[in-house]
Chain A
Amino acid sequence: DTGVSQDPRHKITKRGQNVTFRCDPISEHNRLYWYRQTLGQGPEFLTYFQNEAQLEKSRLLSDRFSAERPKGSFSTLEIQRTEQGDSAMYLCASSLSRAGYGTDTQYFGPGTRLTVL
């Protein structure tokens, strides 16, 4: 257990429905990342937050995707009008960013597996 939790762990939905995932990072971590991972591939970056500010979004994040991190604590990732191609594992990670300490060590949650029927 890394200290990062995600909810739900599994989600099955029908095409066209909206889904929302939650991530609770390690409490003192100021950065939070979302990734998507499909079978046999490594995690693909979606977006990340520095505190409550969303600083980067991947082009993979279409208009149907939105992420928030109110008050710089937990984060939610919403997918609207889901498509079968959205089926994947959605991973959340958090880190403590400190200048001069190399690349942040990211602590990953267990992921939410989404299946779109």
Chain B
Amino acid sequence: LAKTTQPISMDSYEGQEVNITCSHNNIATNDYITWYQQFPSQGPRFIIQGYKTKVTNEVASLFIPADRKSSTLSLPRVSLSDTAVYYCLVGDSGYSSASKIIFGSGTRLSIRP
């Protein structure tokens, strides 16, 4: 069961780059790393997913070192609207694995003007 550990909270300012690191020491070979964002009173929203090295999309980058025991979500030039809870998940899409994808408590990111 791949458990993740991430900071409970982080603060930053508008225009800064924010990096949130997640530890997943017992990640399995078939596991992918996925990050979700959640605003109050809404369901989580997919941000990015990766398996190794670096993945970039229009909203974020995901850095995964060779040993895959951690990953870093990078949000470039954050704005107030990036204030949310960010969840790091580890798992695969096998038929018996849905229950093994654990959200945890996430990282509460607060962006100040």
Contacts and interface: CB of A to CB of B under 8 A. Distances in A.
B49 interface: yes
A25 interface: no
A92 B43 CA distance: 8
A107 interface: yes
B42 A110 contact: yes
Interface residues of A, number: 34
Interface in B39-59: 41-46, 49, 51
Interface string A93-109: 10001110111111111
- Which one of B41, B44, B45 has the greatest number of beta carbons of chain A within 10 Å? B44
Contact of A93 (B43, B92, B104): B43
Interface SS majority for chain B: loop
Contacts of A45: 98-99, 101-102
Contacts of A107: 46
Nearest to A91: B43
A56 B103 contact: no
A4 B97 CA distance: 22
B79 to A, nearest CB: 21
Contacts of A40: 105
Contact of A104 (B44, B93, B99, B103): B93
Interface of A: 2, 4, 31, 33, 35, 40-45, 48, 50, 55-56, 58, 91-93, 97-99, 101-111, 113
